[in-house]
Amino acid sequence: MAETADKPLNVQIIGHSYIRRLHEYCDKNNILNLRLDRDFCAVNFRGKGGLRLRHIGQTSGGSRHELFHFDVVPDVVFLQVGGNDISAHTNCTQLARDIVSLAKYLVLGVGVRLVYIGQLIRRLPFTVCTGYNEMVVQTNINLEAMTKHIAGVEFWHHRGFWASLAYLGPDGVHLDCTPSHSQPMRKYLRSIRNAVIQAPKFLRPV
């Protein structure tokens, strides 16, 4: 914890509707700061439903300004993006490059000390194009390979979402999160929480 001796880590969790819904879940259940000590970190959410990388690429206004304008540069950013960008014509290598480019911009252009790229998550076939889940898997493989040797960028595995698609809600896209079945959302929360806990191992020097 030497990294946070002077001040807590500034952590921004940014992404599409998974992040917006996680934020809503935390608010509804009075889960503050991902249940982490405020002397260790201060966690903030920035989620936008339907977010695509092309929205982020808009330099004037749009999602880039909304999600990536910081009054104080964060120490850690957790990115959950890319899932809405896959279509029948997606090039998985290019998609992974675009996600990594965003992470590198945050590190080299903004000064963020650590960017996590969250593993893309599969969806039920009736909601997406043919081959969507295969492209998710390939994009994740590409992301893991491309980030191995980039200082300040880490690919983060969301464990527990691969044995089946039972974690999905009725819409086939989002995590199931009903009063009787909120385990998928709790699991997703734990995954991001664990990433934040492990952040001091990966932080670039100031």
Cα separations in angstroms, 90 against 38, 60, 77, 109, 153: 41, 26, 26, 27, 23
110-152 confidence digits (pLDDT tens):
999 999 999 999 999 999 999 999 999 999 999 999 999 999 9
170-206 confidence digits (pLDDT tens):
999 999 988 778 899 999 999 999 999 999 999 998 7
Three-class SS state of 91: coil
Q: What is the pLDDT of residue 5?
A: 54
Nearest Cα to 160, choosing from 138, 132, 125, 187? 187
Cα separations in angstroms, 112 against 37, 165, 188, 191: 21, 34, 23, 21
**pTM for the whole structure:** 0.93
Whether the pLDDT of residue 2 is over 50: the answer is no
Q: What is the pLDDT of residue 55?
A: 79
- Are the beta carbons of 87 and 129 closer than 8 angstroms? yes
